[in-house]
């Protein structure tokens, strides 16, 4: 009897155990599904962040390329402007050389004729210099400079100044002597000679150009303060000259707060 009761109880308990086992298995599956869904959401978020970072990196790379292209373009413009400035300076030098030669030819001949008509012949030791020889020596020195033989031109102008200390061409000879030093990158000496023109012949037509050239030489010699003072003197003393106009432009670059 007891055995039959025990078997009956066991039969009633088995369905409950099966249901409990099924419940535990379903709960595990539900948790796995939730974990999978959460993982997928996390992975999607990570993918979006990676995509955003990749896009930002690509944009940053593109911006760098754009900036590099802009830098290259600006560098090219600077080189073009530098070459243009050097070419303009060379053309200006050539123009001054030719103009100087033509003007001095016209100026020296009447002066020599007037002096010969008014003065009596002097003793041999005090004879004035031969105007033709003087002009010939000056032209020879100028031709050396024009031909780019700056060291030879320097020696020729020094010899001219020593041979003709009272020549009307002395301001010009001193100016071109300074230019000969400038072309040899002897900027301090060039600035000294340009200043000598301005100090010794303040009313000579070459003086404004000498002051402008002196400022350029001072800039090359790293004396920017001195260059600013020279340009200010040029503008103050010769305000209507072409050199003063160029000096104003140069001064805006060297001392923008003053203009």
* Mean pLDDT confidence for 159-183: 95
In a domain, 22, yes or no: no
Q: What is the CATH number of the domain that holds 136?
A: 1.25.40.10
CA distance 234 to 254: 15
* Mean pLDDT confidence for 24-34: 77
* Lowest mean pLDDT across 22-26, 111-115, 174-178, 229-233: 111-115
Q: What is the pLDDT of residue 149?
A: 95
Domain boundaries, position 209: 89-110+131-258
Q: Which of residues 190 and 253 earns the better pLDDT score?
A: 190
pLDDT at 249 exceeding the cut of 50: yes
Tokens representing 224? 């920017």
* Lowest mean pLDDT across 15-24, 49-58, 228-237: 15-24
Query: Which of 147, 148, 141, 145 shows the shortest CA–CA distance to 163?
Result: 141
Q: Which of residues 115 and 211 earns the better pLDDT score?
A: 211
Q: Which of residues 49 and 192 earns the better pLDDT score?
A: 192
Q: What is the pLDDT of residue 255?
A: 77
Look at the alpha carbons of 117, 118, 123, 127 in this order and tell me if their dihedral is positive or negative. Answer: negative
In a domain, 147, yes or no: yes
The overall average pLDDT reported for the chain is 77
pTM: 0.55
Q: Which of residues 67 and 164 earns the better pLDDT score?
A: 164
Q: Which of residues 42 and 171 earns the better pLDDT score?
A: 171
Q: What is the pLDDT of residue 76?
A: 47
Instruction: Tokens 């992975």: give the residue.
Output: 43
Q: What is the pLDDT of residue 35?
A: 81
Query: Which of 144, 158, 145, 232 shows the shortest CA–CA distance to 193?
Result: 158
In a domain, 172, yes or no: yes
In a domain, 173, yes or no: yes
Tokens representing 94? 């050539």
Q: What is the pLDDT of residue 144?
A: 95
Q: What is the pLDDT of residue 83?
A: 45
Q: How many domains does the chain have?
A: 1
Helices 170-183/2-118 angle, 10° precision: 150
Q: What is the pLDDT of residue 80?
A: 41
In a domain, 103, yes or no: yes
Instruction: Tokens 């990196």: give the residue.
Output: 57
In a domain, 56, yes or no: no
Instruction: Tokens 């210099």: give the residue.
Output: 129
Q: Tell me the chain's radius of gyration from C-alpha atoms.
A: 46
Q: What is the pLDDT of residue 125?
A: 42
Q: What is the pLDDT of residue 126?
A: 44
CA distance 259 to 257: 6
Helices 207-220/170-183 angle, 10° precision: 20
In a domain, 59, yes or no: no
CA distance 222 to 191: 12
Q: What is the pLDDT of residue 163?
A: 94
* Mean pLDDT confidence for 201-209: 95
In a domain, 141, yes or no: yes
């Amino acid at each position: 009897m007891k055995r039959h009761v025990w078997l009956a109880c066991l039969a009633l308990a088995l369905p409950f155990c099966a249901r409990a086992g099924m419940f535990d298995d379903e709960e595990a599956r539900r948790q796995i599904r939730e974990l999978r869904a959460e993982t997928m959401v996390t992975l999607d978020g990570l993918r979006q962040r990676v995509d955003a970072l990749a896009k930002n990196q690509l944009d940053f790379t593109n911006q760098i390329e754009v900036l590099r292209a802009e830098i290259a373009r600006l560098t090219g413009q600077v080189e073009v402007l530098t070459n243009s400035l050097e070419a303009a300076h060379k053309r200006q030098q050539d123009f001054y050389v030719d103009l100087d030669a033509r003007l001095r030819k016209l100026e020296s001949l009447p002066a020599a004729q007037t002096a010969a008509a008014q003065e009596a012949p002097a003793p041999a030791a005090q004879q004035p210099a031969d105007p033709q020889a003087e002009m010939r020596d000056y032209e020879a020195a100028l031709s050396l400079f024009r031909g780019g033989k700056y060291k030879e031109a320097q020696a020729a102008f020094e010899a001219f100044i020593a041979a003709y200390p009272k020549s009307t061409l002395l301001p010009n000879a001193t100016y071109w002597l300074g230019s000969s030093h400038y072309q040899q990158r002897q900027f301090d000496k060039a600035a000294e000679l340009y200043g000598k023109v301005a100090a010794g012949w303040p009313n000579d037509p070459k003086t404004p150009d000498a002051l402008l050239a002196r400022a350029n030489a001072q800039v090359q010699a790293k004396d920017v303060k001195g260059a600013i003072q020279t340009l200010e003197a040029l503008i103050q003393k010769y305000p209507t000259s072409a050199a003063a106009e160029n000096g104003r432009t140069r001064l805006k670059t060297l001392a923008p707060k003053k203009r």
